[in-house]
Amino acid sequence: MDLTYTEEEEAFRARLRAWLAKVLPTLPARPAAADWPGRRAYDAAWQRMLYDAGYAGLHWPRDAGGQGATPTQHLIFLEETELAGAPYVGANFVGLLHAGPTIAVEGGSEQRARWLPPILRGDAIWCQGFSEPDAGSDLAALRTKAVRDGDAYVVTGSKIWTSHAEVADWCELLVRTDPAAPRHRGISWLAMPMDAPGVTVRPLRTLAGSTEFAELFLDEVRVPVGNRVGAENDGWRVTMVTLSFERGTAFVGEVVACRRVLGALARTARANGRWDDAVLRRRLGRLSAEFTALWRLTQWNVSAARQPGGGVPGAGGSVFKLRYSHARQELYDAAAEVLGAGALDADQEWVADRLSSLSYTIAAGTSQIQRNIVAERILGLPKGR
């Protein structure tokens, strides 16, 4: 394992910094959090700028439309864009960070040519149709069914916590194609067009006031068989690839953001006198060590993924996701302590972030699911059921 940066990687960092310094001052103001059509347009425009500059799909294989950069260069990209205050991936989250990488690994050549370029250009937004009302993060319990009818599947059921459904063009959808098979079998991974007849989206307003999640109702939606990624009934394996990307790399940039927030918290505490509280200082110091450790863990995961036979993040992503989710909540709890009465001001950015942080122990698989993965796949403990 080598965690040092090469001369080539440092040169890449310098070029990226120069480009960010040139383009970021030209960006328009970000739309309001509730303006999802505006946010989609803003995020898509930023993605197009990245594409034109050669920074879209940086670590994707070249034959998938990417730049073929090393995973370490991808980490540098995430670190530098966050430090520079560049726009977050936003509405492009699902397409760029786990649907696209999954299609790049598991899709056929025609599927890669059809779906990946629009994702990289920012022309297509994807949402995630994994969780269901009676299953949650236990994806093996999903009940949305897809019945084969000629050259199409007829899909009926419902999804919940469907990220970015309100503005999405496509949905990475898990369906049960063999109801008689055991729980972890008989599942397939489909790419479903969101404008297909029978698709109904009902936005969910979160505690933070956002509608980035939605309920998704599917009433005999016809999805071409050619939209299936992977073999029929092999969707559980394909899904594990998707979740490996989601847990292994999708939250990496946010660690950098948390380190930036922590620095701002320390400066605020010094300015408002809260820094005199030794208990609070120790708390901020412990969080600083925590996020440094998470960044090192990320580098370790990436280093492991670039070994021969790698490319897909392993179960170490669950270790990262488990600890990151809780550290993020602890960070914003500390922010509330620093802000004091200001923590009740809904217009404060940190207040909205604190409310949003509560979802992180559920998003991308609950902490209970992550603990099971760590116990069974890393520690080798027996399954509990």
What are the catalytic residues? 246
- Measured in degrees and rounded to the nearest 5, phi and psi for residue 291 equal -70, -30
- SS3 state at 218: strand
What's the CA gap between 156 and 144, in Å, rounded?
6
Q: Where are the beta strands (DSSP E) in the chain?
A: 126-129, 145-149, 152-159, 170-176, 187-193, 199-204, 213-224, 228-229
- Of 250, 275, 230, nearest to 363 by C-alpha is 250
Cβ-based neighbours of 324, under 8 Å, separated by 6 or more: 251, 254, 255, 294, 360
**Which residues are bridge partners to 203 per DSSP?**
214
Could you tell me the two tokens for 128? 């995630």
What's the CA gap between 129 and 370, in Å, rounded?
19
- SS3 state at 183: coil
What's the CA gap between 66 and 89, in Å, rounded?
16
- Of 184, 181, 177, nearest to 385 by C-alpha is 184
